[in-house]
Amino acid sequence: MEFARAASARRLLRWQSALARPRSWVCGSCRSSLAVATRRFSSEPTPGAASKKPFYVTTPIFYVNAAPHLGHMYSMVLADVFKRWQTLLGNPAILCTGTDEHGMKVQQAAALAELPPKQFCDENAEKFEQLAQLSRIDYDRFIRTTDLDHVQAVEHFWFLLRERGFIYESKHEGWYSVSDECFYPESQLVRHMEPFTGAVYMASAETKNKVEWVEEKNYCFRMTDLKDRLLDFYEKNPGWIEPAYRMNEVVNWVKNHLSDLSISRPVQRLSWGIRVPDDPSQTIYVWVDALINYLTAAGYPSWPPGALHNGIWPANMHVVGKDILRFHCVYWPALLMALDLPLPKKVLVHSHWTLNKKKMSKSLGNVVNPVYAINRWGTDTVRFYLLFEGGIADDADYNNKTLVVKYKKYLQWGFGNLLGRVTRPKLWNVREIVVNSLSERAESRLQLSKPLQESAARFEEALANLAPTVARHMEEYNPVAAIRQIMEIGAQLNEFLTMTQPWSLVKSERPEDKVAAESVLFLVAEGLRISGILLQPFLPDKSARMLDILGVDEDKRTFGHAVMRCDPSYGSPKADPGHSRDDGLFPPLIEDMDIAFPGSPKARRSNLSKQEIVVKED
């Protein structure tokens, strides 16, 4: 527990000093060549980045009523990629993640665990922060809704809503879902039968979670007063939600189902939460509490007098799952509009992960435990699979066999094999190749045969277009297409190396063949260097090692250096490239070793190959 608190404190200090960090980014000659590729994605030009508003990206804060699952990791990794991408561009960026610790679900889960709610939250919040650390999430604040500054922010927000007349007291009745923590109108209910027990009950048509009839006194938020403002905002900002088609769901809900929002619960029914200021008999609705975390992490309400932000707000991107679309795209903008606060600039809504084409469910026992997955496959392998196969518009299916196939094709036999083929042979020296290829006498491509000249020209053009293409995909909020573009280059470079066979050319007695070999190897080395730079937001550990093996200096790993012939200084390895496939950048997975060498010492020592990733939770 103390470990988690200390880690959180370190992150908070890091977040507070995010704007003060000195950065050494891109050489002037390289920056201009890629300025167009980055201009639209960045909120402002890169020069002067240290003094501009940071790119502020958030994950949802996760309920602590149960252990983390793969979907939580996916939300974290997506947000992390966008933060790291901005850092790669030379822009200041901060990322906030954390846990939602109040509400009925948490109260009931703590009671079942026979623990005080705060102790229950402490133990489970630590699991989520450990998952963030294992997943290599570069977060600046791990916020908890039990944090004192957050409680104060919620109380202040409530006070301003009441002062502006947006809160009134009422007797509320309706169908309430504890699982979804919200009321549903009767038009959104269905009779649902539990397939395993045969029990029939009223449920949400959207989530199929059970609802119960509730009559109680509470406070309401005049959300219907903001209906026209909401619809006007949606019309003027059609790209506010990504993917864009989800805007139709939001507009339809506001037009046809919007009602005033019950924003408190009687303490007799919900005691675990932030109490309503001046009325301790009521507890603030958990979703009002939770959404305000995005402001808390931006320093609210300690902003300069009269200011609508402090240089961090508004968020540039909220990353959320599709199941919480309404809360973030209806409730949240309405609450902000009520106080005339700026709205977030983008809401990225991703789809869910299934297992064997079935929705993951704790009751079905088919939940993928991300910690087990990381222990078995490695952090960057799981990140790669989530990003390569993950769904923004459509659900994605988790499958161990598919993970192994993709790993072998794109990582082990892709970049791993390519890096070994270039950096391990004693027949050449990468540093000498870089120096010779960038010297004034470098006319090596002319020494190739005509077919190889044409092939080399095509690959050089592909490498020249790689960074702008990846930037365009990221600008379109499509990290799946971005990482696939990089992986495809790795496969093509492997084919090019096999076709040209520089190991044969370098042994030739003809000087022109040796020069031709250098030309081929330089092109492939450049492909590795550029790909390694662009992979940093996606695979932070493996890309760092790749660049170390290539000998790329730390200050030459920015987006501006992802240009052909931009770095004349690399080639002397800063890390051992290894000697075989087993100690390479992407070694065979443990499972593969068990199949090929079931009696090997490494296989006998490892228990990870036997560890189940899919676990049944009580």
Q: What is the pLDDT of residue 206?
A: 67
Q: What is the pLDDT of residue 14?
A: 42
Asked whether the beta carbons of 401 and 408 are under 8 A apart, the reply is: no
Helix (H, G, I), strand (E, B) or coil at 497: helix
Q: What is the pLDDT of residue 538?
A: 98
How confident is the model over 580-601, as pLDDT tens digits?
888 999 999 976 443 333 333 3
Q: What is the pLDDT of residue 182?
A: 66
**What is the distance between the alpha carbons of residues 77 and 612, in angstroms, rounded to a whole number?**
22
175, 185, 152, 315: which is closest to 240 by C-alpha?
A: 315
Tell me the domains of the chain and their CATH numbers: 93-312 (3.40.50.620), 399-587 (1.10.730.10)
DSSP string spanning 449-494? -HHHHHHHHHHHHHHHHHHHHHHHHHHTT-HHHHHHHHHHHHHHHH
Asked whether the beta carbons of 100 and 348 are under 8 A apart, the reply is: no
**What is the distance between the alpha carbons of residues 250 and 377, in angstroms, rounded to a whole number?**
38
Asked whether the beta carbons of 154 and 288 are under 8 A apart, the reply is: yes
The vertex-337 CA angle with 336 and 339, nearest 5°, equals: 70
Q: What is the pLDDT of residue 591?
A: 61
DSSP string spanning 225-288? GGHHHHHHHHHH-TTSEESTTHHHHHHHHHHHH--PEE-EEETTT--SSPEETTEEEEEE-HHH
Asked whether the beta carbons of 567 and 522 are under 8 A apart, the reply is: no
Asked whether the beta carbons of 61 and 132 are under 8 A apart, the reply is: no
Q: What is the pLDDT of residue 27?
A: 43
Alpha carbon of residue 74 to chain centroid: 6
Q: To 10 degrees, what angle do helices 117-134 and 104-112 make? A: 100
Q: Which regions in the chain score pLDDT beneath 70?
A: 1-51, 172-173, 178-184, 188, 192, 194-198, 206-208, 361-364, 440-449, 591-618
Structure-block tokens of residue 426: 């004693």
Q: What is the pLDDT of residue 180?
A: 63
Q: What is the pLDDT of residue 401?
A: 93
